[in-house]
Amino acid sequence: MKKNKVLVGASILSEDFFDIQKTLKKINSSDLDFVHLDVMDGVFVPNISFGPAFVKNIRPYSKKFFDVHLMLSDPIKYVEKFVEAGADAISVHVEAKKALQSIKLIKSFGVKCGIVLNPKTSAKKIKKYLKIVDYVMVMTVEPGFGGQKFMEKQLGKISKISDMIKKSGRKILLSVDGGINLDTAKLSVKNGVNVLVCGSFLFKQKNFNDTVKKLKLA
């Protein structure tokens, strides 16, 4: 049986935004598949990160795929702004206001769209989204801050969602975000994940691209 390809993206949330060009140069010269951008409003999650202007400003410095993760209470207000800023994909939380309408709006712009679940949210909540989304992302930490420990209890949910995707008959990617390292990457892939979002662990490694390659082999 042929092993599915694993895509790997770097979350830059924990990086030094003052020297973001240095981070992007490291990413650009690597085998990473995408840049993961966590947008927080201080309401949906207890932290604030950046907005569309930041994404627009760094867009010229990388040709990598930009995956924008909206941790916003009312994401529909900002979808068009992030599309204009250069997002290649935008995901919203199933727990947010007007999540389905937001997904449809993202899709209308010809941008890849994803639905995200918090740790306490049941897999059943995404059933109606499987007819439209390009990917599902399971949070394996409480959203808001980087460097947290992977919640192994989420593996059961990941496996259920993997089965739901197979039954849908659509080519939907299954992503995981939070506490990803070489060990948790293998656990995730074993349960059906084919997209890994990695932040703190990845950027702490001496050989950045070597670690990227190892994650791809999870």
State the virtual CA torsion across 94, 119, 67, 114 in degrees, nearest 10: -30
Residues 33, 38, 67, 134: which is the catalytic one?
Answer: 38
Closest of 49, 40, 46, 94 to residue 72, by C-alpha = 40
Does residue 19 have an active-site annotation? no
Are 189 and 180 contacting, i.e. CB atoms less than 8 angstroms apart?
no
Q: Alpha-carbon distance 50 to 20, whole Å?
A: 13
Secondary structure element (H or E) that encloses residue 165, with its range: helix 154-168
Strand partners of residue 168: none
Residues 33, 67, 134, 177: which is the catalytic one?
Answer: 177
Are 196 and 215 contacting, i.e. CB atoms less than 8 angstroms apart?
yes
Does residue 210 have an active-site annotation? no
Active site residues: 38, 177
